[in-house]
Structure 1
Amino acid sequence: MPDLKTERTLFLLAVQFLTRLPVPRDLEFSDDLLIRATKYYPLVGCLVGLIGAVTLWIAGQWLPPVVAVLLSLAATLFATGAFHEDGLADAADGLGGGMTRDRALEIMRDSRIGTYGTVTLGTALAIKVAALSAMTPATAGLALIFGHGLSRMAAVSVIATTPYARDVGAKFVAPTVTPDGYRWAQTTAFCLLIAFVLCLGFGAALAGVLACAVLAWMFRRMFVRKLGGYTGDCLGGTQQLSELGIYLGVLAWL
């Protein structure tokens, strides 16, 4: 039987790492616990998506659909501190502007956003708003929940199957997932897929997952070829593009 107190700690650590949502101040912390908390990333993604879906539903009672979608996007950005969006922008700057591996990694360390990052992030956010605005409010809300949850699973899969690109010092622990944690995350994602099919139908779920997988695969191939592995920014980019793939796939099927 799992230790419920430990599992609660792991879930809250995942919430603390991936979002800006409040957690208890006396939360136990260690590198080992943070690694084990990776298994809850898809579930935390669902929580973020739920925040967006609830905001969309409330705003949609009084405001036009596109405004409601923009407010739901703002809610998820506020909840996460634009954590993953920052990763996508930095990854785009590094991969687009770095002619060599070392130069790409150096650019990705820079906190400033460049042309590639600005264009990529702006385009991704615009497509998200356009896609969600074209759906019915109920479909858009469900897409938000499944999109955020499954896209975090895509990032966990990169962690589990791809080497880390940077040199790891004694005081730094690279993002890692344990075999048991990876299986737990896969189980969570499988449950999400079942719910996806039940809520939106087999065709929409299949189209969303395929588009998610294609974008994630293309992006992974790009950064592995340039860097020889992944960085934290690459994980943020994977999440963002996978989420976008869910929305585009669902919209294409409808």
Structure 2
Amino acid sequence: MQGLKHFLLALQFFTRIPVTGALAAWVGYSPAMLRASTAHFPAVGAVVGTVAAGVYALLCLHLPSAVGVTLVAAVLSTVATVLVTGGFHEDGLADLSDGLGGSYSRERALEIMKDSRVGAFGAMALVLALLAKVALLALLGQVSLASAVLALWLGHVVSRTWPLLTIRGLPHVGDVAGSKSKPLADQISGPVLATALAWCAAAVALAWWALSALPPHWLGGLVQGERWPEVLASGLLGSGAGWALVHWRLQRRLQGFTGDGLGAVQQMSEIGFYLGVALALG
């Protein structure tokens, strides 16, 4: 029951899915509980990914079969994820881009990131990130519906696992007292990280099973020479590359992480996952 409370708290914190009233009172809240809820970040990704994949699949199945159908599905599934999460991670990417792009000074960069207004660097990063996601998801849908849906679902899970490694590996910096990520300022424990990795491993195993069990004509190019293990591995490598890039920039420029940095990690590792899958299908 404590694990369920931690999951619902993570869902409440990172999505707009209502956990209110008597349910919220039963779940409760404390900074220690929020730190423990980080173990279930990948599970939150599974919920968000299920919504996005469901929207993508329904649109592809019910819209007229035309050249642009996967593009429409990619755009509206991305809209669905933004509605579910409130653009939580996208906001972090924009703020981090403004901070790192607006000043070479660590202190000034942290000050810029606290400003709620979006600057030129943040706007460019946000537009390019959304375009990259939509383009890659539309491309995957042209290979097969199953490959796009599985990549979309698993990408959300995997991309919400990498931020925990950044929390584990870097100190929290900036205005801790006023930060949205204040409860995460303390290092997460080994058992919490192990639980998150178990969630992620279970999602990868489920995708592996689905790729093995689905009829061949559903998978398109994935089944040619049993390429699906290569596709999964490439997606994970691409996602890891996205995490490593942001982690390196946080370490070099800020000497630590902020809540905005964790949002940027999620966004870049999600895009990296889609790109890795697409490259493996090339």
TM-score w.r.t. length of structure 1: 0.94
For residues 178 and 79 of structure 2, what CA distance do their matches in structure 1 show?
37
Residue 195 of structure 1 deviates from its aligned partner by 2.8
* 2:266 is the alignment partner of 1:250: no
Task: Quote the Cα distance in structure 1 between the aligned partners of 2:12 and 2:92.
Answer: 17
Map residues 12-51 of structure 1 onto 2, 5 A cutoff: 12-25=8-21, 26=25, 27-51=27-51
Mapped partners of 1:252, 1:173: distance in 2: 38
- Out of 124, 142, 153, the residue aligned to residue 150 of structure 2 is 142
Select which of 152, 163, 186 maps to 2:197: 186
Question: Could you give the per-residue CA deviations for residues 46-75 of structure 1, whole angstroms, max 9, x where no partner exists?
Answer: 110110000111111233111111111110
Gaps of 5+ in 2: 64-68, 212-227
In structure 1, the residue matched to 2:111 is 106
CA distance in 1, matches of 2:49, 2:185: 23
Q: Give the distance between the partners of 1:162 and 1:152, measured in 2 at CA.
A: 17
- Name the structure 2 match of 1:222: 249
Q: Is the 8 A contact 1:223 1:234 kept in 2?
A: yes
CA distance in 1, matches of 2:209, 2:270: 19
Is 1:159 the counterpart of 2:160 in the alignment? Answer: no
User: Is the Cα contact below 8 Å between 2:32 and 2:183 reproduced in 1?
Assistant: no
User: What residue in structure 2 maps to residue 126 of structure 1?
Assistant: 131
- C-alpha contact 2:52 2:78 (8 A) present in aligned 1: yes
Aligned with 2:263: secondary structure? helix
Report the Cα distance in structure 2 between the residues aligned to 1:173 and 1:57, rounded to whole angstroms.
37
Query: Aligned in 2, Cα 1:117/1:170: closer, same or farther, shift over 3 Å?
Result: closer
Which residue of the other structure, out of 3, 8, 11, is the alignment partner of 2:7?
11
Question: Please, which of 248, 264, 268 is the counterpart of residue 241 of structure 1?
Answer: 268
Which sections of structure 1, spanning at least 5 residues, go unmatched?
none
Q: Which digits, 9 at most, give the CA deviation of each residue in 1:131-184, with x for residues without a partner?
A: 110112221111111100000000111111111112534994344422211111
Q: Is the 8 A contact 2:171 2:257 kept in 1?
A: yes
The CA distance in 1 between the partners of 2:177 and 2:29, in whole Å, is 20
CA distance in 1, matches of 2:131, 2:178: 41
| Post-superposition offset of 1:186 | 1.2
| Paired position in structure 2 for 1:117 | 122
Q: SS of the counterpart of 2:161?
A: helix
Q: Which residue of structure 1 aligns with residue 215 of structure 2?
A: none
CA deviations on 1:26-50 (whole Å, 9 max, x unpaired) are: 2311111111000000010111011
* Identity within the alignment, %: 38
Q: Are the equivalent residues in 1 in contact too, given 2:43–2:157 (CA < 8 A)?
A: yes
Structure 1 Cα separation of the partners of residues 257 and 178 of structure 2: 19
Structure number with bigger Rg:
2
Query: How many residue pairs were aligned?
Result: 250
CA distance in 2, matches of 1:153, 1:192: 11
Aligned residues of 2:171 and 2:185 also touching (Cα < 8 A): no
Distance 1:167 1:190 in 2: 34
